[in-house]
Amino acid sequence: MSPELIQVSYSLKIDTVTTDHAEAQRQLGICTSCRYCEGYCAAFKSVTRHRTFDVATVSHIANLCHNCRGCYYACQYTEPHEFSLNIPALLANVRAQNWEEHIQPRVVTRHMQRYIWPYVMLTALFVLLFSVAVGAPWVSALPFYSLISHNTMVLIFLPLFVLPVIALILGLRRYWKSIGGKPLKLIHVKEAIASAATMKQLDGGQGQGCNYEAGERYTSIRRWAHQATMYGFLLCFLSTSVATLYHYLFNYPAPYPFFSLPKMFGVSGGILLTIGCAVLIYLKRMADEGLGSQQRQRAEYTFTTLLFLVGLTGLLLYWCKGTSVAGGLLIVHLSVVATFFIAIPYSKMSHGFFRLAALCRESQLSSRAL
């Protein structure tokens, strides 16, 4: 299709939006005329259903995007062409603006999306707090719950977990309303979870993988790293949940032997989480920064490093129990976990939840289009 034909074949419905939203509307208008990338992912399947792109539609498409960058390397209208398409970077910016707009307080979201210092400050504060709570020197070989009681742990971590989750739920509710989401049916949720669980959108549309760190080549490494990180995190969460049931329902307090569910879930989850995050950090360093949200690169590195440290310090704490470094490792581990809990709704972690909501909405829209 000639550039002249594309120029006259798309129209825009521009509301009062940010520059990134308006530019995304322009570029998506060109994409829906070209349609070369139609089978690449859920984002482009959604693009081809539209001829105009209002704010809600752009927001929905942005949260479907996994930033695999296959569309960029396949596109004939990227720079130096006069259209200068860069869909991955634009959708990354719009996506982050969605999180900053819907997760409140917005000032917290903006700072944790853009800067390193909130993570450093929170971790340092928690190191001080847990040093006081533990009440023992950093060099200590005492068992875990001899250094800090279970009740103290619950008193500290319960609000640190519940309050951010409430902020996330309220933010998702605002996002759902903003994109015109309807009451969900079970089939929509099942389709969304199946897509997210398999990282389906990172297969390049043909099963060959994505182009994130490899440019013109295809690779599935990022998909595997995402899966390791996601399932590692879920196993760690399951470990904590099972241990909580053991403690309160069966009156079976920690510590637990290795061949118990909490330990097996926790150790395997920690290994997957640590490896997955390490690979994601490496791939991010290999990737082209110009195809992502450049204003938020440092905070994205910081959050992934934080998640890596959650897994690593948890494993080290288990392997070093009974040694003189156990006390210091406990303080560091609890501090990074506490910072992670606070960061859940305000960091790149929100992408997973917003994307699941977008997949649910996409399932709704797809079923209506049939």
Give dist(CA 98, CA 83) in Å, integer: 25
pLDDT score at 41? 82
Which of 136-145, 252-261, 330-339 has the highest mean predicted lDDT (pLDDT)?
A: 330-339
Q: Which residue range forms the structural domain that includes residue 194?
A: 103-369
HSE at residue 163, side-chain half, CA atoms within 13 A, is 12
Is residue 95 domain-shared with residue 120, that is, in the same domain?
no
* Sequence-ordered alpha helix ranges (H) in 261-296: 261-286
Is residue 139 domain-shared with residue 288, that is, in the same domain?
yes
Peptide linkage before 257 cis (omega within 30 of 0): no
pLDDT score at 108? 94
pLDDT score at 141? 55
Q: Which amino acid is at 96?
A: A
pLDDT score at 135? 67
Radius of gyration of the chain (CA): 22
Confidence of residue 139 (pLDDT cuts 50, 70, 90): low
pLDDT score at 137? 60
Give dist(CA 15, CA 124) in Å, integer: 43
Given a cut of 60, is residue 246 above it in pLDDT?
A: yes
Query: How is residue 78 written in tokens?
Result: 């990227």
pLDDT score at 103? 95
pLDDT score at 93? 92
Last residue of a domain, one of 99, 122, 157: 99
Give dist(CA 39, CA 30) in Å, integer: 16
Q: CA 40 → CA 19, 24, 180, 250, 369, distances in Å?
A: 26, 18, 24, 49, 19
Is residue 37 domain-shared with residue 169, that is, in the same domain?
no
Give dist(CA 98, CA 61) in Å, integer: 11
Average pLDDT for 211-220: 87
Give dist(CA 153, CA 151) in Å, integer: 5
pLDDT score at 149? 75
121 against 51, higher pLDDT? 121
Cα-to-chain-centroid distance, residue 105: 19
Is residue 79 domain-shared with residue 219, that is, in the same domain?
no
HSE at residue 315, side-chain half, CA atoms within 13 A, is 15
Q: What helix, strand, coil percent values describe the chain, rounded to 5? A: 70, 0, 30
Q: Is the dihedral of CA 70, 110, 167, 365 positive or negative?
A: negative
Reported as a single tens digit per residue, the pLDDT across 314-328 is 999 888 877 778 888
pLDDT score at 146? 65
Return the SS3 of 219.
strand
Out of 2-6, 94-98, 266-270, which region has the weakest mean confidence (pLDDT)? 2-6
Q: CA 357 → CA 44, 112, 185, 188, distances in Å?
A: 17, 22, 13, 10
Is residue 55 domain-shared with residue 171, that is, in the same domain?
no
pLDDT score at 143? 61
Is residue 238 domain-shared with residue 341, that is, in the same domain?
yes
Average pLDDT for 187-204: 87
Structural domain count of the chain: 2
pLDDT score at 15? 40
Reported as a single tens digit per residue, the pLDDT across 359-368 is 999 999 887 6
For every residue of 306-362, DSSP letters joined together read: HHHHHHHHHHHHHHTTTSTTHHHHHHHHHHHHHHHHHHTTTSTTHHHHHHHHHHHHH
pLDDT score at 7? 42
Is residue 218 domain-shared with residue 289, that is, in the same domain?
yes
Out of 150-164, 296-310, 318-332, which region has the weakest mean confidence (pLDDT)? 318-332
| Mean pLDDT value across the chain | 86
pLDDT score at 12? 36
Is residue 129 domain-shared with residue 186, that is, in the same domain?
yes
pLDDT score at 151? 78
Confidence of residue 18 (pLDDT cuts 50, 70, 90): low
pLDDT score at 1? 45
Is residue 67 domain-shared with residue 180, that is, in the same domain?
no
pLDDT score at 329? 87
Return the SS3 of 215.
coil
Is residue 60 domain-shared with residue 121, that is, in the same domain?
no
Reported as a single tens digit per residue, the pLDDT across 41-66 is 878 888 888 778 888 999 999 999 98
- Confidence (pTM): 0.88
Last residue of a domain, one of 55, 71, 99: 99
Confidence of residue 251 (pLDDT cuts 50, 70, 90): confident
Is residue 42 domain-shared with residue 157, that is, in the same domain?
no
Last residue of a domain, one of 46, 69, 99: 99
Is residue 143 domain-shared with residue 65, that is, in the same domain?
no
Given a cut of 60, is residue 16 above it in pLDDT?
A: no
